[in-house]
């Protein structure tokens, strides 16, 4: 039943338009059939006029009932539905935008992956600086004459992966919408989870040009109740200063100790000076 409600809420404008067009057309038919009955003198014309009158009256009443039902769903039922049902549907992934794997050769054996040699640093005696391009030196000629009959050792330098920018979260605190890096200009509704053992409350804070460079708490209703993949709170940024703002979700236990945090960044574009 909820699926029918969601369909009616999302398509209410088109349903109102179709009902209005149908009502106007068949109300005109109803008026013309009444005029036909007043002018008719033969039984065949009278019977035809009565059929048109009955059909037009039935359809006029049907369009009125449909429009009234949609209005009732929007005014009385929509406020009681869970907010996650009214969230916009997840877009279908574009399969043509997904990179395809390399084709397998005819022999059935996959093409072996060529691994690159790790970056190395040569230990040069007398405190000299390491070579700028140790890999090319190793492949072209020796690093230098042996020192005291020993070949200079080659030390592997481990490659440290760069930290990808994204959402910084901890267990029990997450913000699923809006995504980090999104551009906002009006009311921003935060969806996510705020829970944990001995849950006390949660708090939404903002940091950016609007807050003067310090974390400022945002007003949130119902923050003393845990939230599971639902609305955390909303804020109107239409009058904020433009620029990048950080938004942080903090979860506290009953002793006011932080037990979880999640932080994202949003770009506010409202035309205000940054």
Model confidence pLDDT, tens digit, residues 11-60: 888 998 999 999 999 898 888 888 877 777 777 778 887 888 888 889 98
Residue 126 domain flag: no
Residue 145, pLDDT score: 55
| Residue 165 banded pLDDT, cuts 50, 70, 90 | very low
Residue 57 domain flag: yes
Residue 37 domain flag: yes
| Residue 195 banded pLDDT, cuts 50, 70, 90 | very high
Percentage of the chain exceeding pLDDT 70: 68
Helical segments of 40-132, H only: 43-72
Residue 118 domain flag: no
Q: Residue 229 belongs to a domain with what CATH number?
A: 2.60.40.2550
Residue 146 domain flag: no
Q: Choose the final residue of a domain: 85, 116, 145.
A: 85
Cβ atoms 30, 64 nearer than 8 A: no
| 52 vs 123 pLDDT, higher one | 52
Residue 233 domain flag: yes
Q: What are the percentages of helix, strand and coil residues in the chain, rounded to 5? A: 35, 25, 40
Number of domains into which the chain is organized: 2
CA 216, 219, 225, 231 dihedral sign is negative
Mean pLDDT of the chain: 76
Whether the per-residue pLDDT at 168 is higher than 90: the answer is no
Residue 163 domain flag: no
Q: Choose the final residue of a domain: 85, 118, 149.
A: 85
Parallel, antiparallel or unpaired: strands 258-268 and 183-184: parallel
| 178 vs 50 pLDDT, higher one | 178
pLDDT by residue (tens digit) across 66-113? 999 888 888 888 777 777 666 666 666 665 555 555 555 555 565 555
- The residue range of the domain holding 180 is 168-268
Whether the per-residue pLDDT at 138 is higher than 80: the answer is no
Residue 214, pLDDT score: 92
Q: The tokens of 136 are what?
A: 């090319």
Whether the per-residue pLDDT at 166 is higher than 60: the answer is no
Residue 67 domain flag: yes
Whether the per-residue pLDDT at 64 is higher than 90: the answer is yes
Q: Choose the final residue of a domain: 43, 61, 85.
A: 85
65-74, 162-171, 196-205: segment of lowest average pLDDT: 162-171
């Amino acid at each position: 039943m909820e699926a029918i409600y969601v369909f009616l809420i999302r398509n209410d404008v088109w349903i109102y338009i179709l009902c209005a067009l149908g009502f106007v057309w068949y109300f005109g038919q109803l008026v013309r059939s009444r005029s036909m009955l007043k002018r008719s003198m033969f039984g065949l014309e009278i019977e035809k006029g009565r059929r048109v009158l009955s059909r037009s009256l039935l359809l006029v009443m049907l369009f009125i009932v449909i429009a009234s039902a949609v209005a009732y769903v929007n005014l009385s039922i929509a406020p009681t539905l869970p907010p996650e049902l009214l969230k916009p549907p997840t877009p279908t992934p574009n399969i043509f935008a997904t990179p395809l794997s390399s084709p397998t050769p005819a022999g059935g054996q996959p093409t072996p992956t060529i691994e690159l040699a790790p970056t190395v640093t040569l230990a040069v005696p007398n405190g000299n600086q390491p070579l700028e391009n140790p890999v090319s030196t190793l492949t072209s000629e020796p690093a230098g004459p042996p020192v005291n009959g020993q070949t200079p050792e080659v030390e592997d330098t481990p490659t440290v992966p760069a930290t990808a920018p994204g959402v910084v979260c901890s267990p029990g605190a997450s913000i699923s919408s809006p995504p980090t890096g999104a551009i906002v200009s009006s009311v921003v509704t935060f969806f996510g989870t705020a829970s944990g053992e001995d849950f006390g409350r949660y708090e939404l804070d903002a940091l950016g040009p609007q807050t003067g460079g310090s974390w400022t708490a945002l007003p949130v209703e119902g923050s003393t109740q845990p939230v599971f993949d639902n609305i955390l709170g909303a804020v109107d940024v239409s009058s904020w200063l433009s620029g990048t703002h950080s938004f942080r979700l903090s979860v506290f236990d009953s002793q006011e100790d932080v037990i979880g945090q999640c932080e994202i960044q949003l770009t506010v574009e409202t035309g205000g000076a940054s």
